[in-house]
Amino acid sequence: MRRNRRVKLVATVGPASSSPQMLEKLFQAGVDVFRINMSHASHELARELHLRIRELSAKHSFPIGILADLQGPKFRLGAFQDERVKLEPGSTFTFLRYESPGKADQVYLPHPQIFEAVEAGHTLLLDDGKLRMRVDKASDDKIVAEVLVGGMLASRKGISLPDTLLPVGPLTDKDRLDLDFALQLGVDWVALSFVQRGVDVEEANEIVAGRASVMVKVEKPQAIDDLNAIIAAADGFMVARGDLGVEMPIEKVPGLQKKITRKARAAGKPVVIATQMLESMISSPVPTRAEVSDVATAVFEGADAVMLSAESAVGKYPVEAIEMMNRIAVEVENDKGYQAILYAWQTEPQPTAADAIAAAAHAIANTVQLAAIVCYTATGSTARRVARERPNLPVIALTPVPETAHQLSVVWGLHSIVLDADPDTTSDMTRKACQIAFSQGFAKPGEGVLITGGVPLGTPGTTNMIRIAYINEDGEPMAKG
């Protein structure tokens, strides 16, 4: 089975999509990666979903990816005596470090880290940004703030601090338990919430220890400030536009999306665009025109993947949402202006032999007009480098490591196939590449493929070879004069 598009589709699994039958329908509609949201999934449910997805992957001989999304720290207010209060603009409101019944002008805030870090002048956002305050005074046991945007405030609503660098890492005790469990299951990616600095990612990397790839959800202003360090430390990125749009002026989010996408592409690391992409399809069988344009923009920019959240997790039309996402992506990638927009921004290869090989592969394949690029890769590094160039032809990633194939499921343009073993010789390498390109429908007799790999064979990190081979009517390599 092969997709007829380069961008990948990520779908969140939930009550509307967790049955084996619905998972298969979503896969057939176009899903490449399933996301398990650990904020809502118990360990028992996560285990069952992991098993179902792996069985589906084996059934179709297709490396479906599994992303476990960790909840991260959640900061919430205490309770009000009457469950909710009305706050007027211009009024004063106080947050107390000690437990006390909530009133119209005060509430308990059970997070000492906030009291340790917040300063006068900092902004406080409550209930997903619906209410806004500015801190007037802050002490060890009390935060006094002026209400800038008022409204009804209920018990245990969330609080965000866009100006405050909080002295907490992205992993709570719950996250550590969830992470350990997800790694034992063998998920392909883990997503970190609430990342503020590059060192936050390094901490997670030490725990993961190469057992999965680490994806950072960029959703905090502090993460934007330390974006270069985060990109250097992470394996991939998710532009979590919902939370990012709460903590920053919403009009800045499109520009930040472009910035993160470009930096991720330059680093050769996958980037997923997420949140509210087809939000109206939670309850409607068709999206709005604005949503279609939003998805199309992400595809035009060369994002590796686009993601559905509530649309596929709890929506009424999960299959239709995936089918719509797929149709949008195919239409964009066939648009006459797609290549010009995609290549309007390019970066120089990094000064390594493997990057030079990847850039050369792209240039040669376009010049000679070949049918496909075939990458032999053990860790996935070679395939990601080739995908970074966004070549205008299919890229087949051949690996003897199933985990690598599943991790590459989120990377732009890659069609991954698991080999029984590495080729024994360069002749065997060429033969297998031709046979697979032919049998999978990527190349016809008389057409050529470009093959990249490393000598000695089977040694990770040794990409140093480019070879062109033409295919005969039996799918075997032939000499071409």
Question: Please, are residues 354 and 58 in contact by the beta-carbon 8 Å criterion?
Answer: no
Which fold would CATH assign to domain 353-478?
A: Pyruvate Kinase; Chain: A, domain 1 (3.40.1380)
**What is the distance between the alpha carbons of residues 57 and 412, in angstroms, rounded to a whole number?**
19
Question: Please, are residues 396 and 375 in contact by the beta-carbon 8 Å criterion?
Answer: yes
Residue 228 banded pLDDT, cuts 50, 70, 90: very high
The string of pLDDT tens digits covering residues 93-138 is 999 999 998 999 999 999 999 999 999 999 999 998 999 999 999 9
H helical segments located in 30-111: 43-60
DSSP code, position 352: S
The string of pLDDT tens digits covering residues 60-89 is 999 999 999 999 999 999 999 999 999 999
Closest CA to 168 of 75, 98, 248, 37: 75
Handedness of CA 307, 309, 312, 317 (dihedral sign): negative
Is the per-residue pLDDT at 190 higher than 80? yes
Note the pLDDT of residue 339: 92
Q: Which of 9-13, 44-48, 342-346, 396-400 has the lowest mean pLDDT?
A: 342-346
Note the pLDDT of residue 462: 67
Which fold would CATH assign to domain 84-160?
A: M1 Pyruvate Kinase; Domain 3 (2.40.33)
CATH class of 8-72+171-340: alpha beta
The string of pLDDT tens digits covering residues 168-187 is 999 999 999 999 999 999 99
Is the per-residue pLDDT at 367 higher than 50? yes
Chain centroid to Cα 143, Å, comes to 36
Closest CA to 384 of 260, 265, 468: 265
> Where in the chain are the domains?
8-72+171-340, 84-160, 353-478
Measured between alpha carbons, how far is residue 331 from residues 2, 4, 6, 10, 470 in Å?
Answer: 17, 11, 11, 18, 30
Chain centroid to Cα 401, Å, comes to 22
**AA identity, residue 145:** A
Is the per-residue pLDDT at 481 higher than 70? no
DSSP states along 63-75: --EEEEE------
The string of pLDDT tens digits covering residues 196-219 is 999 999 999 999 999 999 999 999
Is the per-residue pLDDT at 354 higher than 80? no
Note the pLDDT of residue 174: 96
Q: Mean pLDDT throughout 156-164?
A: 94
Its pTM stands at: 0.93
Task: Name the token pair of 296.
Answer: 């199309």
The string of pLDDT tens digits covering residues 420-435 is 988 888 899 999 999 9
Is the per-residue pLDDT at 460 higher than 80? no
Question: Please, are residues 379 and 461 in contact by the beta-carbon 8 Å criterion?
Answer: yes
**What is the distance between the alpha carbons of residues 271 and 38, in angstroms, rounded to a whole number?**
20
The string of pLDDT tens digits covering residues 380-411 is 998 999 999 999 889 999 999 999 999 999 99
Task: Name the token pair of 357.
Answer: 């090989």
Closest CA to 308 of 195, 474, 294: 294
Is the per-residue pLDDT at 346 higher than 80? no
Task: Name the token pair of 224.
Answer: 């934007």
Q: Which of 281-285, 323-327, 455-459 has the lowest mean pLDDT?
A: 455-459
Note the pLDDT of residue 37: 97
At 459, which helix (H) or strand (E)? none
